[in-house]
Amino acid sequence: MEILLAIMTGILYAAGIYLILRRSLVKLIIGIVILGNGVNLLIFLMGGLVKGRPPLIAEDGKMLEGIFADPVPQALILTAIVISFGLQSFAIVLIKRAYKVLKTDDIDTMNKTDDIK
Amino acid sequence: MSEHLIIYPIIVHLITAVLLLFFWMKPKIQRYISILGGGVGIVIAALLFQRVWSSGIQSIQLGNWEAPFGISMVADTLAVSLILLTNIVAFALAIYSTENMVSSRVKFGYYAIFHFLIMGLSGAFLTGDLFNLYVWFEVIIISSFVLLTIGGRKIQIEGAVKYFTLNMISSIIFLTGIAMVYGATGSLNMAELSRIIPEIENQGLIQTISLVFFIGFGVKSGVFPLYFWLPASYHTPPAAVSALFAGLLTKVGIYAMLRVFTLIFPLGEVNQIILMVIAGLTMFFGGIGALVQKDILRVFSYLIICHIGFMVGGLSLFTEVAIVGAVMYMFHDIIVKATLYMMGGVMFRIFGSTKLRNMGGLMDNYPRLSLLFAIPLFALVGIPPLSGFWPKVSLFSASYTAGEIAMLVMFIFASLITLVIIAKVWNKSFSKDAPKLERKSSFKYFEDFSFSEKAAYVVPIIILVGVTLYYSFFAEHFQLVAARIGEELMNTEHYYNAVFGIK
């Protein structure tokens, strides 16, 4: 299972970077979204996978016993998902606005800010 | 109650921002609240600084979860000095914004977002948890996106696309680094990491992970191959926003580097060389870039990059004297770079353009203003006794004693090229004859301003120049603070003991 997730993470990173390198604004944003998902999967993987052992304390117990799934990465991922959701919604509004104002979605033609005049 | 003082710098700006949301459509009231909030921020930051200075590093565990499990907030001397400087700059900018920000932009929530950004900065300086640092970084960047695009001019949107993309990628790389650290150590508490990391056998892996962090922070601070978003976006928003970004945003990247590379991953030999090479190239390309620019704000953008090299260079030498130099340079840079962009805003109002060829005659027409502007420009070059000179003493001597002559040569090169650039700016905008330009009819020039409008532009510059002069003539105060920071950064047990409450 770990090896599968590791390969999946690699694919997501590769796909994300490939899309970021494309010339279209929309593909750029999709690339960032995919890259973000790749990171979330990586955090999940780094916490170690434990099957069927939720980190719950038994009713009569005082502490967790034996091997249990690490709850921290899930909390981290949840936070990261919420943050990236906010940023992505901003990004989509931004590219819509950029398309309206600049009348292009080709990143190569966006070089007004780098003119030396 | 008094131990909660550590989180008050965050709370003050949070409350101010929320309060501002209630006065959404009332720009006038917003201006007063913002200035008031900035003032209270300075007082709280000064109190916290005084507390840390007199009784050592303070820490608080949020939600009362004990140290490695919960989120720790740690106020060491580096954090509180930066918070104090941040609040001074924020206060000056709150005054500056009263005229620089037109009411339509204020109605889009400029002031509220401004205070959220300052809150994010304070949080990033104070946190003692790696993931929490990421969260504060996100607070900072999402506020900065809004500030950058507010008003929505064509060039702003285009700059924002670049700024947004690179900052998002940097956050993703930073998060990747966090995932790797968690995988390798099982902890994210910075103090605990400082104890776990040296015991890990595979140090090669750790040094590699630390470079992932370097790339993440490098994008934010604008080091050599990763800086291209900075000159593409910093000149696009109104001067108040640019000044805020120039003074504080790149420095938060440097702060994170200083923290991570001293506390968590002390620099290994290979990483030291990598950082040194990058610092040298940053100074070189920043300087050369500034030399060819024809727009004053873009000249300043490249100068930011050039001077980031000083701080990264100081860190890469990794001796206490060098760190002291880097920290002192950071203090000087925060104040001076914010002043430069504020000056840029005034010059835009005087000439109606930020192009150097449309400028001139500032010294004949505005002699007192020129004298005021000369101080930060000369401080930037490092003409003694102005503030840029003192950190360079530490940096030069540290690189010489460490035997890194190449680094010393790059420091000197960057200082000289800064001198050339400032001389060019001075010639073109201050001493050259004023060009005969048609006056734009719909543009409000500086000379048409009423006294109070002029004051709103000039008083904040006077405040920050006052701080620069204080730094210049009482440099030993800053040296004392920086020496203590250097001591705290290089001996991590102070930090560890403060977090875990070991006396």
Average pLDDT over residues A17-32: 92
Find the length of chain B: 503
Task: Provide, as residue numbers in chain B, all residues whose Cβ is less than 8 Å from the Cβ of A72.
Answer: 182, 188
Average pLDDT over residues B143-158: 88
- The span from the CA of B449 to the CA of B469, in Å, is 28
Share of chain B above pLDDT 90, in %: 58
Task: Return the structure tokens found at A26.
Answer: 């929309």
- Domain holding A92, by residue range, is 2-50+67-109
Amino acid at residue number B288: I
Tell me: pLDDT of B462 over 80: yes
Q: Up-side HSE of residue B83: CA atoms within 13 Å toward CB?
A: 36
Angle made by CA atoms A84, A88, A90, in degrees to the nearest 5: 120
Tell me: pLDDT of B55 over 70: yes
Average pLDDT over residues B119-138: 93
- The span from the CA of B252 to the CA of B249, in Å, is 5
Residue B412 pLDDT level (bands cut at 50, 70, 90)? very high
* pLDDT for residue B42: 94
Is residue A114 one of the residues assigned to a domain?
A: no
Preceding omega of B385 cis (within 30 degrees of 0): yes
SS3 B223: coil
Is residue A57 one of the residues assigned to a domain?
A: no
Tell me: pLDDT of B196 over 80: yes
Amino acid at residue number B81: S
Task: Provide, as residue numbers in chain B, all residues whose Cβ is less than 8 Å from the Cβ of A35.
Answer: 169, 172
Is residue A95 one of the residues assigned to a domain?
A: yes
B295 close to B355: Cβ distance less than 8 angstroms: yes
Q: How far is CA B12 from the centre of its chain?
A: 20
* pLDDT for residue A58: 78
* pLDDT for residue B44: 94
Verify whether the Cβ–Cβ distance A114 to B232 is below 8 Å. yes
Q: What does the longest C-alpha to C-alpha distance in chain B come to?
A: 70
Among A63-67, A100-104, B380-384, the minimum mean pLDDT is found in: A63-67
Tell me: pLDDT of A64 over 80: no
- The span from the CA of B347 to the CA of A81, in Å, is 43
Task: Provide, as residue numbers in chain A, all residues whose Cβ is less than 8 Å from the Cβ of B292.
Answer: 116
Residue B107 pLDDT level (bands cut at 50, 70, 90)? confident
Q: How far is CA B105 from the centre of its chain?
A: 24
Q: 10 Å Cβ neighbour count for B364?
A: 12
Q: How far is CA B51 from CA A4, B6, B57, B90, B124, in A?
A: 52, 10, 9, 22, 19
- The span from the CA of B309 to the CA of A87, in Å, is 30
* pLDDT for residue A117: 66
Is residue A74 one of the residues assigned to a domain?
A: yes
Q: Is the dihedral of CA B139, B141, B146, B147 positive or negative?
A: positive
Would you call A26 exposed, middle or buried from its count of C-beta atoms within 10 A (0-12, 13-18, 19+)?
Answer: middle
- The span from the CA of B344 to the CA of A58, in Å, is 65
Among A47-56, B371-380, B390-399, the minimum mean pLDDT is found in: A47-56
Task: Provide, as residue numbers in chain B, all residues whose Cβ is less than 8 Å from the Cβ of A47.
Answer: 182-183
Average pLDDT over residues B454-478: 92
- The span from the CA of B495 to the CA of B502, in Å, is 10
Verify whether the Cβ–Cβ distance A117 to B235 is below 8 Å. no
Under 8 Å CB pairs connecting chains A and B tally to 98
Sole residue written with tokens 């990628």: B169
- The span from the CA of A21 to the CA of B164, in Å, is 15
Sole residue written with tokens 């060098």: B322
- The span from the CA of B278 to the CA of B92, in Å, is 33
Strand (E) or helix (H) holding B379: helix B367-381
B481 close to B54: Cβ distance less than 8 angstroms: no
Report pLDDT digits (tens) over B307-335. Answer: 999 999 999 999 999 999 999 999 999 99
Average pLDDT over residues A13-34: 93
Strand (E) or helix (H) holding B478: helix B475-490
Verify whether the Cβ–Cβ distance B168 to A91 is below 8 Å. yes
Verify whether the Cβ–Cβ distance B236 to A113 is below 8 Å. yes
Tell me: pLDDT of A52 over 90: no
Report pLDDT digits (tens) over B346-363. Answer: 999 888 888 888 888 888
Find, in chain B, the residue whose alpha carbon is nearest to that of A91.
Answer: B164
Name the minimum distance, in Å, from the CA of B275 to any CA of chain A: 25
Verify whether the Cβ–Cβ distance B158 to A98 is below 8 Å. yes
Domains held by chain A: number:
1
User: What is the SS3 assignment for B164-220?
Assistant: HHHHHHHHHHHHHHHHHHHHHHCCCEHHHHHHHHHHCCCHHHHHHHHHHHHHHHHHH
Find the length of chain A: 117
* CATH code (residue A95): 1.10.287.3510
- The span from the CA of B446 to the CA of B251, in Å, is 31
Q: Is the dihedral of CA B48, B53, B55, B57 positive or negative?
A: positive
Closest CA to B42 of B113, B118, B111: B118
* pLDDT for residue B379: 92
Substitution target in A113, A115, A116, A117 with the highest count of B β-carbons within 10 Å is: A113
Task: Return the structure tokens found at B331.
Answer: 């203090």
* pLDDT for residue B1: 54
Averaged confidence pLDDT in chain B: 90
Residue B413 pLDDT level (bands cut at 50, 70, 90)? very high
Tell me: pLDDT of B259 over 80: yes
Verify whether the Cβ–Cβ distance B178 to A86 is below 8 Å. no
Average pLDDT over residues B272-283: 93
pLDDT higher for A114 or B304?
Answer: B304
* pLDDT for residue B109: 86
Q: How far is CA B17 from CA B13, B23, B113, B118, B242, in A?
A: 6, 10, 7, 10, 20
Tell me: pLDDT of B73 over 80: yes
Find, in chain A, the residue whose alpha carbon is nearest to that of B171.
Answer: A36
- The span from the CA of A93 to the CA of A112, in Å, is 21
* pLDDT for residue B88: 94
A73 close to A47: Cβ distance less than 8 angstroms: yes
Strand (E) or helix (H) holding B346: helix B320-351
Residues of B near A (Cβ–Cβ under 8 Å) read 131, 134-135, 138, 141-142, 145-146, 149, 152, 154-155, 157-162, 164-165, 168-169, 172, 175-176, 178-180, 182-183, 188, 231-233, 235-236, 292-295, 298, 355
Verify whether the Cβ–Cβ distance A79 to B355 is below 8 Å. no
Measure CB to CB from residue B182 to each of A73, A113, A116 and give the nearest one.
Answer: A73
Tell me: pLDDT of A30 over 90: yes
Find, in chain B, the residue whose alpha carbon is nearest to that of A114.
Answer: B232
Tell me: pLDDT of B18 over 90: yes
Q: How far is CA B92 from CA B85, B247, B249, in A?
A: 11, 12, 16
What single string gives the DSSP state of each residue in A46-94? HT---SS--S---TT-SS--SS---HHHHHHHHHHHHHHHHHHHHHHHH
pLDDT higher for B307 or B384?
Answer: B307
Residue B51 pLDDT level (bands cut at 50, 70, 90)? very high
Residue B303 pLDDT level (bands cut at 50, 70, 90)? very high
Average pLDDT over residues B396-411: 91
Name the minimum distance, in Å, from the CA of A74 to any CA of chain B: 12
Is residue A30 one of the residues assigned to a domain?
A: yes
Sole residue written with tokens 């949080």: B123
Residue B152 pLDDT level (bands cut at 50, 70, 90)? confident
Closest CA to B71 of B6, B140, B138: B6
Domains of chain B, residue spans:
2-500
- R_g of chain A computed on alpha carbons: 20
Residue B429 pLDDT level (bands cut at 50, 70, 90)? confident
Verify whether the Cβ–Cβ distance A94 to B164 is below 8 Å. yes
Residue B500 pLDDT level (bands cut at 50, 70, 90)? confident
Residue B26 pLDDT level (bands cut at 50, 70, 90)? confident
pLDDT higher for B106 or B336?
Answer: B336
* Contacts within 8 Å (CB) and 24+ apart, B103-106: B103/B27, B104/B151, B105/B150, B105/B151, B105/B238, B106/B27, B106/B30, B106/B31
* pLDDT for residue A40: 92
Among A50-54, B12-16, B381-385, the minimum mean pLDDT is found in: A50-54
Among B250-264, B422-436, B450-464, the minimum mean pLDDT is found in: B422-436
Residue B503 pLDDT level (bands cut at 50, 70, 90)? low
Q: pTM of the predicted model, to two decimals?
A: 0.94
Verify whether the Cβ–Cβ distance B294 to A116 is below 8 Å. yes
Task: Provide, as residue numbers in chain B, all residues whose Cβ is less than 8 Å from the Cβ of A2.
Answer: none
SS3 B466: helix
Name the minimum distance, in Å, from the CA of A59 to any CA of chain B: 22
Average pLDDT over residues B422-446: 83
